[in-house]
Amino acid sequence: MQNQKKESCNTQKVNSFTQIDQMPKGRIKSFFAGDEVRHAEPMIDIIFPSVAFPSNKIFKTIGEGRIREMVWHHHELLLKTKVGKLFPANKEAFKMTVDATADFFIEALGGENIFTSVHGEPKLRVRHFKIPIDENDREIWLSMYKKTLKEIDFPKEHLEEFWNWIEPLSIRMINRRTNMQNIKRHYWNDVRISF
Amino acid sequence: MQNQKKESCNTQKVNSFTQIDQMPKGRIKSFFAGDEVRHAEPMIDIIFPSVAFPSNKIFKTIGEGRIREMVWHHHELLLKTKVGKLFPANKEAFKMTVDATADFFIEALGGENIFTSVHGEPKLRVRHFKIPIDENDREIWLSMYKKTLKEIDFPKEHLEEFWNWIEPLSIRMINRRTNMQNIKRHYWNDVRISF
């Protein structure tokens, strides 16, 4: 990876698949079978954007109980979508999953280390590898969070900080690509009007 | 993507998930809930390496018939592996798939445009999006090619050129990530001894 990184950044030679997808037609065909070997450039898929981890202000304002309610509310909405099929069908296993997620949110927002003391490092991307998560699953997950935040009356003054965390964070769970497009961003400035 | 690319390459700030995975423990936890918002850096997954497209020498040596035999041989081996389940179960549909792949190989190696005249641009990554292909599926695909090249007695003097094409090309079909590791390379210098 060291060499590849050098190759990419020092020579600025790495394009993304999204860029290639937008190139004029006929480009790839031209690689075919000349008199000599021809090299197609290295390529990256997406850049997973920076993630803004929230301060402890949210936890100080709403506390453990309401964070737990929020996570449960979100998962109950998810169950009504196709993303629901990615969760354990067994009720007890489902409850364990949601409780662990709630523990994570509580700790990440400023509570006690109730997640890491039991489960170790978050490693959210790694934890989700066993489940195929595509771009559309992430869209659903995020839109159900928007609905949740409205329905539980999340404090307006902390919405931006929370949203700026979960929006890019959710991109990092994508492990199944189904198209060449960039991952859709839902910037706070575009979604704030929904709240 | 333009801005993201700038962010990554000009400031050299984009690391890969593989690098993060190898960092000392405790790093991610430190992002949790300080007094202020904290930013985790943008990240990339893998760099898909350069692909060396072969010259027309292979086609000139072995011709259309043997290329078609090679592709059929490879697919018959794949059917005996778990990758076989990714192909159509219907015999006629399977035959159409393999024939199209053979057309692609014939054209890519220097034959007539029998693939692009029917199917349009190759866009191999796009064509495979509907099928989840993970790192291990690619390992199987490639190892069955190694077996094929031995079993069909592919001309030794063209092996390197052919291998240097399919080895990196196969990485571009991966659309389902199941771990943080770099994709395993099988460089010609390491595999030549098998032939």
Residue type, A92: E
The 3-state DSSP class for residue B52 equals strand
Residue among B48, B73, B54 nearest B144 (CA): B73
- The residue of chain A nearest to residue B181, with distances taken between CA atoms, is A1
pLDDT of amino acid B17: 83
The candidate with the shortest Cα–Cα distance to B29, out of A108, A1, A68, A77, is A108
Give SS3 for A94.
Answer: helix
The pLDDT tens digits of the residues spanning B80-95 come to: 999 999 999 999 999 9
pLDDT exceeds 70 at position A13:
no
pTM: 0.90
Work out the number of other CB atoms within 10 angstroms of the CB of residue A190.
Answer: 9
Of the candidates B23, B6, B58, B145, the residue with the CA atom closest to the CA atom of residue A9: B6
**What digits encode the pLDDT tens for the residues B2-30?**
444 444 444 455 788 887 767 666 555 56
The fold of A57-189 is: Globin-like (1.10.490)
Confidence at residue B10, expressed as pLDDT on a 0 to 100 scale: 44
As a whole-number percent, the residues of chain A with pLDDT over 90 amount to: 78
- Chain B residues within an 8 Å CB radius of A175: 176-178
Residues of A in contact with B107 (CB under 8 A): 32-33
- Give residue A11's pLDDT: 47
Average pLDDT over residues A18-29: 65
CA distance linking residue B45 with residue B181, whole number of Å:
9
pLDDT band at A34 (very low <50, low <70, confident <90, very high): confident
Q: Nearest residue of A to residue B110 by CA position?
A: A33
Average pLDDT, chain A: 90
pLDDT of residue A6 exceeding 80, the answer is no
Q: How many CB pairs under 8 A join A and B?
A: 184
Q: In the prediction, which pLDDT does A27 show?
A: 55
Which of A48, A116, A180 lies closest to B126 in CB terms?
A180
Query: Does the pLDDT of residue A87 top 90, yes or no?
Result: yes
Task: Tell me how crowded residue B143 is: count the other CB atoms within 10 A of its CB.
Answer: 15
Secondary structure element (H or E) that encloses residue A36, with its range: none
Residue A14 confidence (pLDDT):
72
Q: Do B53 and A41 touch (CB under 8 A)?
A: no
Which among B1, B5, B33 has the least Cβ separation from residue A59? Answer: B33
CB pair distance less than 8 Å for A40 and B47? no
Q: Cβ B48–A39 below 8 Å, yes or no?
A: no
CA–CA–CA angle A169, A172, A175 (5° rounding): 150
Measured from the Cβ of residue A11, the count of other Cβ atoms closer than 10 Å reads 11
> Among A5-14, A65-74, B116-125, B174-183, which is the least confidently predicted range?
A5-14
pLDDT digits (tens, 9 = 90+) for A141-184: 999 999 999 999 999 999 999 999 999 999 999 999 999 999 99
Counting residues of chain A whose pLDDT is more than 70, the rounded percentage is 89
Sequence spans of domains, chain B: 57-178
Do A122 and B179 make contact, defined as CB atoms within 8 angstroms?
Answer: no
Q: Can you give the pLDDT at residue A173?
A: 98
pLDDT attached to residue B13: 56
Q: Which tens digits make up the pLDDT trace of B118-147?
A: 999 899 999 999 999 999 999 999 999 999
Mean of pLDDT values over B139-158: 97
Pick the CATH number of B57-178 from 1.10.490.10, 3.40.50.80, 1.10.357.10, 3.40.1190.20: 1.10.490.10
Inter-chain touch B51–A40, beta carbons under 8 Å: yes
Distance separating alpha carbons of residues A103 and B27, to the nearest angstrom: 19
Please give the mean pLDDT across all residues of chain B. Answer: 90
b/e map B113-141, b = 16+ CB within 10 Å? ebbbeeeeebebbbeebeebbbbebbeeb
Q: Return the pLDDT at B16.
A: 84
% chain B with pLDDT above 70: 88
What's the pLDDT score for residue B6?
A: 41
* ipTM of the modeled complex: 0.89
Residue A121 vs residue B138, higher pLDDT = B138
- Chain-centre distance of CA B125, in angstroms? 9
| H-state helical runs in chain A | 2-5, 17-21, 57-79, 91-108, 116-119, 124-127, 135-151, 156-171, 188-191
Distance CA A133, CA A177 (A): 8
CB B146 within 8 A of CB B30: no
Give the relative orientation of helices A57-79 and A135-151 as an angle to the nearest 10 degrees: 120
Residues of A in contact with B108 (CB under 8 A): 32-33
Q: Are B132 and A132 a contacting pair at CB < 8 A?
A: yes
